[in-house]
């Protein structure tokens, strides 16, 4: 008895000492085990707010899918916990980002019953997984496999299982959940030369119908170029889904990272029909020719355009962000009669490495959550317009980092009003691990250092070994902090 009390006393003292030393210290990040490029706007949502908590997914060690939860009432974090193992991960962890595939990062959502869904791990699959009727698989031993995980229990990130109900060939997973409960999973059905498709579920993701092609890949008429696409799908007004997309002229040999033009169309979920912004019917899968004729909102010529996001106003008119040339965010909206001239949202700072998402409050009042670089400083925060996008004002930055870049996801789903977004460090000198931050209206949602710093001993070892991280594969056109879509 005496010994027990004595022991308990020491345990208490030790806990108090630990709290004094590290536990009481709060840090801005919620985890330090993001890996490579842990998240991107193209893989979305990266998180969802549900019943008082925000659930997040990102790419962690070995490119595996990790999840975290933050309870806004108790201000307590749970996780990160390993949800699923990526078939593309490597051991030991590479220190050259060129060896990290980075395409298998997760998208996640919470269904109507509170179960959590994560889709991750795919970059086209390979022929051992079957025959890809809608595209081109990666080579044997490459391409991973698109995997669908569901939580064992609602609102609980601790236990997961695989549901074998989606195509293994997918990459760039994107969930769109309708008010009526239908769940759409959009993705590219293979490597570059593949259709973009969706699978629809009417039973909370337990089963999915066969893929339906939306954007058609095919050899371009009279040339060696193969028509290919990059696309971002989102919830529209009512029972609709928006598609904004870019053209990729894909050719081997002489492959380039060219992305051109911006296109928009909309699906009426009730019957699966698609229409352009004028309401004219579009047959899917849409071809390059039809897309040029009916859905192109911006002709970039040979200049590079890359995807951003698209959100609708209360009149059902789309507002579109896209990245132009080196990654300068531009904004345009449909007025009901025409697309406005695309405007550079950020007028000062470097015209590269920008990315982000939109909150549309009315046809003329819009806020953009963006990351950008100015004077070597990387910032994340809001820019807002009250005149329909002609002029934008920067609000006080929510987060900044002096060098090394950042990566940003799309806004947390159902949390747009709360303005939550996840960002990660773009790179650090010694390794490919990145601190992860959840940003709210006041900046990072903090966490006790002892909870957030999970892999510090490992990172310390990497530092001692003098490893040098290689931030991006040599020869790639990308700049720091810019997702290299592939």
Interface with Zn ion (CB under 5 A): 192, 250
Shortest Cβ distance from residue 373 to Zn ion (Å)?
27
| Straight-line distance from the first to the last Cα atom of the chain, in angstroms, rounded to the nearest whole number | 65
How deeply is 4 buried, as exposed, middle or buried, from its count of CB atoms within 10 A (0-12, 13-18, 19+)? Answer: exposed
DSSP-derived 3-state class of residue 98 = helix
Closest separation in Å from C-beta 78 to Zn ion:
40
Helix H or strand E segment including 9 = helix 2-18
Instruction: For residues 420 and 338, give the distance between their C-alpha atoms in angstroms, rounded to a whole number.
Output: 31
Contact between 250 and 231 under an 8 Å Cβ cutoff? The reply is: no
- In the bound complex, what is the minimum distance in angstroms from residue 106's beta carbon to Zn ion? 24
If one counts every other C-beta atom within 10 angstroms of the C-beta of residue 471, the result is 18
Indicate the residue among 47 and 190 with the shorter CB distance to Zn ion.
190
Question: Which 8-state DSSP code applies to residue 389?
Answer: T
* Whether residue 103 lies in the annotated active site: yes
C-alpha radius of gyration, the chain, whole number:
22
User: 401: which 2 tokens?
Assistant: 């980092």
Q: How far is the CB of 192 from Zn ion (least distance, A)?
A: 3
Measured in whole angstroms, the distance separating CA 269 from the mean position of its chain's CA atoms is 23
Task: Return phi, psi of residue 352, to 5°.
Answer: -155, 160
Q: Which of 43, 103, 217, 319 does the annotation list as catalytic?
A: 103
* C-alpha span between 429 and 466 (Å, rounded): 10
395, 419 contact by CB (below 8 A) = no
Q: What are phi and psi of 454, to 5 degrees?
A: -95, -30
Nearest to Zn ion of 135, 419 (CB atom): 135
Comparing CA positions, the residue from 408, 389, 411 lying closest to residue 399 is: 408
State which residue, 192 or 311, has the beta carbon closest to Zn ion.
192
3-state secondary structure 219-279: ECCCCCCEEEEEEEEEECCCCEEEEEEEEEEECCCCCCCCCEEEEEEEEECCCCEEECCCC
155 vs 484 by CB, closer to Zn ion: 484
- Selected catalytic residue, list 172, 324, 433, 437: 172
- Least distance in angstroms from the C-beta of 351 to Zn ion: 25
CB 228, min distance to Zn ion, A: 5
Cβ-based nearer residue to Zn ion, 65 or 250: 250
Which H or E run includes 451?
Answer: helix 449-452
Q: What element of type H or E holds 4?
A: helix 2-18
Q: Which two tokens stand for residue 436?
A: 């992860």
- Is 217 marked active-site? no
Q: Which residue do the tokens 């490579």 mark? A: 36
Count of CB atoms within 10 A of residue 62's CB?
Answer: 18
Structure tokens at 135: 């595209």
Rounded to a whole number of angstroms, the minimum distance from the CB of residue 101 to Zn ion is 16
- Shortest Å distance, C-beta 257 to Zn ion: 8
Tokens of 178: 């309708």
Minimal CB distance residue for Zn ion: 250
Would you say 250 or 312 has its CB closer to Zn ion? 250
Phi-psi region of 327 (alpha: psi -120 to 50; beta: other; left: phi over 0): left
CB-count exposure of residue 396 (10 Å: 0-12, 13-18, 19+): exposed
- Dihedral sign from CA coordinates of 52, 53, 54, 57: negative
Nearer to Zn ion, 250 or 369 (CB): 250
Instruction: Give the nearer residue to Zn ion in terms of CB position, either 215 or 366.
Output: 215
Residue with Cβ nearer Zn ion (250 or 472): 250
**What is the nearest approach in angstroms of Zn ion to the Cβ of residue 90?**
24
Catalytic residues, by residue number, are: 103, 172
């Amino acid at each position: 008895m005496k010994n027990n009390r004595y022991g308990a006393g020491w345990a208490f003292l030790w806990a108090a000492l630990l709290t004094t030393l590290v536990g009481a210290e709060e840090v801005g990040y919620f985890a330090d085990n993001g890996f490579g490029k842990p998240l991107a706007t193209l893989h979305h949502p990266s998180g969802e707010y549900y019943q008082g908590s925000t659930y997040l997914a990102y790419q962690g060690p070995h490119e595996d899918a990790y999840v975290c939860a933050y309870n806004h009432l108790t201000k307590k974090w749970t996780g990160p916990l390993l949800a699923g193992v990526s078939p593309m991960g490597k051991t030991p962890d590479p220190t050259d980002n060129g060896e990290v595939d980075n395409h298998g990062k997760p998208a996640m959502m919470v269904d109507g019953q509170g179960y959590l869904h994560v889709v991750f791990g795919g970059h086209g699959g390979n022929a051992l997984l079957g025959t890809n009727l809608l595209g081109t698989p990666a080579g044997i031993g490459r391409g991973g496999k698109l995997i669908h995980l569901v939580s064992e229990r609602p609102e609980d990130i601790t236990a997961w299982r695989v549901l074998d109900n989606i195509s293994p060939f997918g990459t760039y997973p994107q969930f769109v959940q309708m008010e009526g409960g239908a769940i759409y999973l959009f993705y590219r059905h293979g490597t570059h030369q593949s259709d973009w498709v969706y699978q629809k579920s009417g039973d909370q993701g337990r089963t999915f119908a066969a893929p339906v092609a939306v954007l058609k890949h095919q050899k371009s008429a009279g040339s060696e170029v193969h028509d290919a696409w990059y696309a971002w799908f989102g919830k529209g007004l009512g029972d609709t889904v928006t598609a904004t997309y870019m053209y990729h002229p894909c050719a081997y040999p002489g492959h380039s990272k060219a992305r051109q033009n911006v296109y928009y169309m909309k699906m009426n979920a009730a019957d699966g029909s698609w229409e352009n912004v004028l309401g004219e019917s579009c047959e899917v899968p849409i071809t390059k020719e039809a897309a040029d004729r009916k859905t192109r909102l911006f002709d970039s010529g040979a200049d590079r355009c890359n995807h951003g996001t698209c959100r609708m106003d209360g009149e059902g008119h789309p507002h579109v962000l896209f990245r132009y040339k080196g990654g300068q965010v531009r904004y345009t909206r449909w007025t009901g009669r025409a697309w406005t001239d695309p405007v550079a949202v950020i007028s000062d700072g470097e015209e590269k490495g920008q990315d982000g998402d939109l909150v549309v409050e009315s046809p003329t009042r819009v806020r953009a959550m963006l990351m950008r670089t100015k004077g070597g400083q990387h910032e994340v925060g809001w820019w807002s317009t009250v005149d329909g996008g002609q002029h934008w004002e920067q609000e006080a930055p929510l987060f900044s980092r002096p060098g090394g870049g950042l990566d940003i996801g799309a806004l947390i789903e159902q949390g747009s009003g709360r303005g939550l977004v996840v960002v990660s460090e773009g790179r650090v000198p010694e390794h490919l691990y990145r601190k992860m931050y959840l940003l709210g209206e006041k900046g990072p949602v903090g966490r006790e250092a002892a909870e957030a710093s999970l892999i510090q001993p490992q990172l310390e070892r990497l530092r001692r070994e003098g490893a040098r991280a290689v931030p991006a594969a040599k020869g790639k056109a990308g700049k720091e902090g810019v997702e290299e879509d592939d």
